[in-house]
Amino acid sequence: MTARPLPSSTPAAQGVDATGVLALLDALDAAPDIEPHSLMILRHGHVVAAGWWAPYTPERPHLLYSLSKSFTSTAAGFALAEGLIGLDDTVVSHFPEFEAEITDPRSRAMLVRHAATMSSGHLAEMVDTAYGTDPAEPVRGFLLHPPERDPGTVFTYNQPATYSLAAILQKVTGQSLSDYLRPRLLDPLGIGEAAWLRDGTGRELGFSGLHLTTDAVARFGELYLRDGVWEGRRLLPEGWVGEATRAHVPTAGRMGRTDIPDWDQGYGIQFWRSRHGFRGDGAYGQFCLVLPEQDAVVVTTAATERMQAVLDLVWRHLLPACRPAPLTGADAADAALRERLAGLALPPATGKPAPPERAEDWAGASFTPYGGVRPDPRGLTGVALDEGPDGWTATLTDGGRRTGLRLGTGGWTVSEEPLPVAVSGGWTDPGTLEFAAQFLETPHRLVITCTLADRAFRARWRTEPLNATRLDRLRAPVSGA
């Protein structure tokens, strides 16, 4: 099925001052700790700006991290309307096979609504505890650890709460989340590929792991902006948008920081309230911002530890650019924005495409972790170089698996196999090779430096992968893999 493109328009025709969007782009590009990957802005139902920073491209899915939760929420909305679950069901009632083991009154009192609103009563993130207690059934591992407070009385951002909701949905529907959502949400919105990571139980995670294109997330945001109606047809149950996106539980001060005001506005059913509108968001800058007052949707994918800074820039530059009526005399600004969006690109790592001298020493050379210490949790143990007719290849070994990266001859060199990745960089001096590997279906960049004198390498992540335990899994999951 080929999706009908979203309606598009000039910014001015939809009352958006293109100079404000240009200022936002300037600010994103100037921030050394924000690496933007895509931006899409809709106003009055029209795409007024869309751009991808090369080597990222429109057709690629991108790992959404916890923005996945808002899609799990949507599945819950459908299941509620179909009578498959109730918000006042106890969580344990959906798992009678181990109900006898769950004896703590608070664990037994936890409702589906508590799991859905991150108000299980626990005071700390429980994901490692749940999986560590029972990897074969993390819901059991979660419920075996009693909440410190009564469910419903306190917010704690807690992955197993969402996981439990997702597990219930997959149990009562007999389908994966993505299969359940396909005829109800994804196909009606014109969303094609949707890939969701699974854990050892075979379930889709629910709390993370969904890979979608920026366009798909924009369609999702537009559906929520329109109160669940798409092209004149109601998709979401009436009243669901208001219920899912209102503040069910206060969050002020519960994230352990005082400098993130957009996380202090309250939490809904797997949606955050914001200082402006509401949002789904995921680690490192994956945002779907729904702004009813501006009649706008803003979607970003990115790699940054400073997610509040991204929101601050949107509020500072984009909100004032949304005007109450179409603009006149703005053709030059609109044209400048089109040109800017077409030329967005991440700066490649620098370096020469071949050793400036002693090439024979580099050919076939192997490198071990500097100081003998594995540099990251994926267990990267070796780097080997080979020269071929098409240039140089670096082969990374982690956990006995080998991933070959073609170094290329300048700029970003994109490969699809063994996984979608772009590589840039090269020799910075006769004894040093440094290259960056951008895993194109994720936010993540790995930078590796090899030194010939030591036959050693160092590796560092710009942003640390949270789900993948192996390099070859830094991609959208492949069916059957």
pLDDT of residue 481 exceeding 50? no
Task: Give the tens place of pLDDT for each residue, 38-69.
Answer: 999 999 999 999 999 999 999 999 999 999 99
**138/128 Cα distance (integer angstroms):** 10
End residue of a domain, out of 342, 376, 410: 342
Do 314 and 364 fall within a single domain?
no
Residue with tokens 């820039």: 313
End residue of a domain, out of 292, 312, 342: 342
Structure-model confidence comparison of residues 375 and 173, the more confident one: 173
**414/28 Cα distance (integer angstroms):** 24
Give the chain's end-to-end CA distance (angstroms, integer).
24
The closest of 104, 119, 106, 215 to 165, measured between CA atoms, is 119
Within-domain flag for 421: yes
Within-domain flag for 138: no
CATH code of 446's domain: 2.40.128
Mean pLDDT of 408-418: 90
Within-domain flag for 236: yes
Do 271 and 401 fall within a single domain?
no
Do 377 and 266 fall within a single domain?
no
Per-residue confidence (pLDDT) for residue 98, from 0 to 100? 92
* Lowest-confidence segment of 215-224, 250-259, 266-275 by average pLDDT: 250-259
**393/242 Cα distance (integer angstroms):** 53
Do 190 and 308 fall within a single domain?
yes
Per-residue confidence (pLDDT) for residue 86, from 0 to 100? 98
Confidence of residue 207 (pLDDT cuts 50, 70, 90): very high
Per-residue confidence (pLDDT) for residue 409, from 0 to 100? 78
The 10 Å Cβ neighbour count of residue 93 is 13
Task: Give the tens place of pLDDT for each residue, 285-344.
Answer: 999 999 999 999 999 999 999 999 999 999 999 999 999 999 999 999 999 999 999 999
Do 184 and 297 fall within a single domain?
yes
Do 325 and 385 fall within a single domain?
no
CA distances from 375 to 11, 398, 401 (A): 46, 11, 16
Alpha-carbon dihedral sign for residues 199, 173, 266, 444 = positive
- Which amino acid does the sequence have at 26? D
Structure tokens at 454: 């030591």
Do 266 and 410 fall within a single domain?
no
Mean pLDDT of 431-459: 96
Task: Give the tens place of pLDDT for each residue, 123-133.
Answer: 999 999 999 99
CATH code of 268's domain: 3.40.710.10
Mean pLDDT of 457-473: 90
Within-domain flag for 99: no
Task: Give the tens place of pLDDT for each residue, 378-397.
Answer: 679 999 999 998 899 999 99
Do 193 and 324 fall within a single domain?
yes
Within-domain flag for 115: no
CA distances from 347 to 262, 339, 375, 407, 438 (A): 30, 18, 25, 16, 12
Do 192 and 284 fall within a single domain?
yes
Task: Give the tens place of pLDDT for each residue, 68-108.
Answer: 999 999 999 999 999 999 999 999 999 999 999 999 999 99
Instruction: Determine the 3-state secondary structure of 357 from DSSP.
Output: coil
| CA R_g for the chain | 24
Q: What is the mean pLDDT of the chain?
A: 95
Do 314 and 390 fall within a single domain?
no
Do 392 and 445 fall within a single domain?
yes
Mean pLDDT of 460-479: 88
DSSP line for 327-345: -SS-HHHHHHHHHHHHT-B
Per-residue confidence (pLDDT) for residue 1, from 0 to 100? 53
* C-beta separation of 102 from 166 below 8 A: no
* C-beta separation of 157 from 255 below 8 A: yes
End residue of a domain, out of 342, 374, 403: 342
Within-domain flag for 134: no
Domain that holds residue 448: 359-473
Per-residue confidence (pLDDT) for residue 410, from 0 to 100? 81
The closest of 217, 174, 177, 169 to 197, measured between CA atoms, is 177
Do 44 and 173 fall within a single domain?
yes
Within-domain flag for 76: yes
Within-domain flag for 229: yes
How many independent structural domains does the chain possess? 2
Could you tell me the pTM of the whole model? 0.96
